């Protein structure tokens, strides 16, 4: 793969309410709130309505017609909320001017598609700023101490940082050192979340970037790109080591690593068209005459990927079926 193609790939990577039956007692405590931070894998509608995530056919299949998500239906945040027996939290942009507790009774989603640990190519709140938003609400007494102690946090970040790095530097030189900076800052951020009283924080690794449709289109969606997958594994190994160290220092399993890499590979299996997106072409795009620039597959339940980067609703379901095992194991 040429440098120009890889650069384009990384620039695009990760650009980017489930009803429950009641709150479950998880690990001996009642989960009351969910706070989500990160990028398009976690965003449930923080980007403005001009974003492609608000356009047809995004939000196509889920019965409640979920708008603003980079999927035909649910994303990772929705599945994790359902796992804990809470509704998916409202997006920050809808409640930032309100201090009413009733508005944030399920928590808040601060994630923005296209954001990163550091500032990316887009003028969006990075993770530090997203956490600042939460701190401001805490200082306004929107959340009491007991609310925070019975809450969980989801952190899904890192892919966009690498895209921004390559766009600015034009080469892979120094990327390894930058990766360490990304993870060091990410660790500082999750420790800050814990300092607010949040006792369970889930941090995702990077999925197999070489298996994204963006990576496999050049070979007709037949094979994953090994070099990109190796990069994913390198990032994840360092991230997991750092999370292990944080838990050792805390003498408690506060931080849980969510292995998206293994979960995605498990969901993909070895079936036909496993790497092909359901929405092909310029998903969500139309020409000046209103003609669609995309085609949607006939059976979304068979597609792991919705578009060239993001999983479908059923794809996230398949990925989460593996993730939930590690979540259950690490709850305490």
Maximum Cα interatomic distance, the chain, rounded to a whole number of Å: 61
Mean pLDDT for all residues in the chain: 87
If we measure between CA atoms, which residue out of 261, 250, 253, 298 comes closest to residue 278? 298
Whether omega for the bond prior to residue 57 falls within 30 degrees of 0, making it cis, is yes
> Per this entry, what is the length of the chain?
332
If we measure between CA atoms, which residue out of 280, 210, 211, 204 comes closest to residue 236? 204
Q: What percent of the chain has pLDDT over 90?
A: 66
CA distance 62 to 66: 7
**pLDDT tens by residue, 184-231:** 999 999 999 999 999 999 999 999 989 999 999 999 999 999 988 998
Beta strand 33-38 with 151-156 is parallel
pTM for the structure as a whole:
0.89
Question: What one-character-per-residue DSSP string does 47-70 give?
Answer: S-TTSGGGSTTTT-SSTT---S-S
What the chain holds in terms of domains, given with CATH numbers, is: 3-271+316-330 (3.40.50)
Asked if pLDDT for residue 252 goes beyond 80, the answer is: yes
For the four alpha carbons of 146, 147, 150 and 153, in that order, the dihedral sign comes to negative
CA distance 80 to 153: 10
Catalytic center residues: 40, 307, 310
């Amino acid at each position: 793969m040429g440098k120009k193609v890889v650069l384009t790939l990384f620039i695009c990577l990760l650009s980017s309410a489930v009803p429950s039956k009641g709150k479950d007692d998880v690990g001996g405590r009642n989960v009351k709130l969910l706070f989500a931070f990160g990028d398009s894998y976690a965003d449930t509608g923080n980007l403005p309505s001009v974003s492609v995530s608000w356009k047809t056919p995004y939000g196509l299949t889920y019965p409640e017609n979920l708008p603003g998500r980079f999927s035909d239906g649910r994303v990772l945040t929705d599945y994790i909320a359902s796992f804990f027996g809470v509704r998916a939290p409202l997006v920050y942009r809808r409640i930032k001017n309100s201090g009413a507790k009733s508005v944030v009774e399920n928590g808040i989603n601060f994630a923005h598609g296209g954001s990163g640990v550091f500032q990316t190519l887009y003028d969006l709140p990075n993770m530090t700023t997203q956490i600042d938003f939460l701190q401001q609400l805490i200082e306004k007494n929107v959340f009491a101490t007991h609310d925070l102690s019975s809450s969980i946090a989801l952190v899904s970040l890192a892919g966009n940082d690498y895209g921004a790095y390559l766009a600015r530097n034009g080469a892979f030189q120094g990327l390894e050192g930058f990766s360490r900076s990304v993870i060091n800052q990410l660790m500082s951020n999750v420790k800050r979340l814990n300092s607010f009283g949040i006792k369970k924080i889930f941090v995702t690794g990077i999925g197999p970037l070489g298996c994204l449709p963006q990576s496999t289109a050049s070979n007709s969606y037949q094979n994953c790109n090994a070099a990109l997958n190796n990069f994913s594994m390198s990032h994840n190994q360092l991230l997991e080591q750092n999370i292990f160290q944080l838990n050792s220092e805390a003498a408690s399993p506060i931080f849980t690593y969510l292995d998206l890499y293994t979960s995605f590979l498990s969901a993909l299996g070895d079936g036909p068209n496993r790497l092909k997106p359901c929405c092909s072409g310029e998903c969500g795009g139309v020409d000046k005459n209103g003609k669609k620039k995309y085609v949607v597959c006939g059976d979304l339940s068979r597609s792991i990927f919705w578009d060239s980067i993001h999983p479908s609703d059923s794809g996230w379901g398949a990925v989460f079926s593996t993730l939930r095992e590690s979540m259950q194991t690490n709850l305490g």
